[in-house]
Amino acid sequence: MIGNLVTGFEAAFTPDNLLWCFVGVLLGTVIGILPGLGSATGVAILIPVTLTFPPLTALIMLAGIYHGAQFGATITAILIATPGEASSVISTLDGYQMARKGRAGPALAISAIGAFVAAMVSLFALMAVAPFFAEAALTFGPREMLAVMILGLCTIVVFSGRNLALGMAVGLLGVLIGCVGVDVGSGTARYTFGEIDLYGGVPFVEVMIGLFAIGELLNQLHIGMAPPIRARFRELMLTRDDLRRSAAPVARGTVVGFLLGCLPGAGTTLASFMAYGTEKKFSRHRRELGKGAIEGVVAPDAATNAASNANFIPTLVLGVPGGATTAVLLGAFLVYGIQPGPQLFDSQPDLVWGLLVSFFLGNLMLLLLNLPLAPVFAQLLRIRYAFLYPLIIVTSLLGAYSVKSSMFSVWVVLLFGLVGYAMKRLNFPMAPLVLGLVIGPLFEKALVQTSALGGDDGLFLLRSPIAVTILTLALLLVAGPALGRVLRRRLPARA
């Protein structure tokens, strides 16, 4: 591996590559801050700009956009509860609460540090075990992916709080909303009511902007605009306790993100939700989650960055995209005349290892760029809400419109803004709805494929040891709390 690293540094460490890597992460951060764009859109828009570049330089810049957008999306998620990426949705739960308490600086800073640590660990893991994980990923067929999606749906239990029935109902609503569009099995339209814009499903990004940005804004207007946050400078800095509490969540988030990121098509959003669910189970401060706990910020962001690196395992080794952005990057490979696959590591080692080393350089640039600026970004909350709220509305609606250049996207944002407002007033949990909306389409696709492969075999799913293991974890996740309560009641009785 040392030889490969040397090859990568020799290829990536040139003035041109360093310059365009910096341009990429800077543009990516700006793209992530703008609601509605996201890394996939940003990469797609800027591919034509790179056509005159050498292939490695072009890919380094595009990868920089990918990583920069991840952090940029977290900035708005924490400051104004407006996630710029689907994967940053979960960061709003605790990040925005930290900002409301005057701790936006530590939230942004620990997000940058956690993301950097996770990126570094996952990058070395990617370099060391890419062939092994690629081979393991090949064993994940539709039934194994179906088991993963069932496990993901079972995490709704974690996000439901004390009212499990309400959380399950809200999660089911999210799944039903995800069913809008063309049926995967038959190809017929469902619940579209003749609206062509709904054939591709309810647009996820616009839904998130409405639920979180507009919904929160309407709720704040209802209860009365709070005075601007006046945090002292020392409150904007990380403390030793913040770092101590973040160590274990970063480790757990990195492992969860890397493992899920290795699966073709899993993407980063599922990884961030699963990492948050893991904290709900294992964190010593689990009761503080959702109320401004630093673990709820750093674990999902670590998982997102680890998954974004791991997404390149199926992309480079199998030629199968790991997520939406790597699907666009896969197209860029083909544009530059590069065919991803098992032979790529042997046929073009300079390009592969140069690209992987650029991940290290890009994340280092992001850390050096954004860590000192965290207190500066936090000062945005000092702006009076009479000026800030119109800016949020305009930015959200413009971001939604820019996705498809369609007023339909704007109407979706406004509709789900009212839904988000109603849910906040009724104290309904938001996370199960989002989780159902994310996993619903993936679950349906895996279910249809598994049914087609299994035919009349009712036990087809259970004939896979991997699927059975994952389903067992799902069962323990659902039944574990109830079993724990039963055991706690019986043990004192026996004593």
For 122-151, the pLDDT digits (tens) are 888 877 776 666 566 566 778 887 887 887
Query: In the chain, count of helices (H) and strands (E)?
Result: 23, 2
In angstroms, rounded to a whole number, what is the distance separating the alpha carbons of residues 161 and 462?
31
pTM above 0.85, yes or no: no
Cβ–Cβ under 8 Å, residues 342 and 319:
no
In angstroms, rounded to a whole number, what is the distance separating the alpha carbons of residues 334 and 332?
5
Cβ–Cβ under 8 Å, residues 356 and 308:
no
Cβ–Cβ under 8 Å, residues 137 and 456:
no
User: So what's the pLDDT on residue 234?
Assistant: 57
Q: How many CB atoms lie under 10 A from the CB of residue 288?
A: 16
Q: Residue type for 449, please?
A: Q
User: So what's the pLDDT on residue 322?
Assistant: 66
Cβ–Cβ under 8 Å, residues 35 and 400:
yes
In angstroms, rounded to a whole number, what is the distance separating the alpha carbons of residues 307 and 274?
11
Which parts of the chain sit beneath pLDDT 50? 495
- The Cα-based distances of 193 to 75, 121, 440 in angstroms read 37, 48, 20
User: So what's the pLDDT on residue 11?
Assistant: 81
In angstroms, rounded to a whole number, what is the distance separating the alpha carbons of residues 128 and 321?
20
- The Cα-based distances of 164 to 168, 288, 424 in angstroms read 6, 18, 17
Locate 32 and state its tokens: 């992530």
Integer-rounded Cα Rg, in Å, for the chain is 22
User: So what's the pLDDT on residue 131?
Assistant: 61
User: So what's the pLDDT on residue 77?
Assistant: 83
Q: How many CB atoms lie under 10 A from the CB of residue 241?
A: 9
* Helices 142-154, 431-454: crossing angle, 10 deg rounding: 160
User: So what's the pLDDT on residue 358?
Assistant: 86
User: So what's the pLDDT on residue 232?
Assistant: 54
Locate 351 and state its tokens: 């390009």
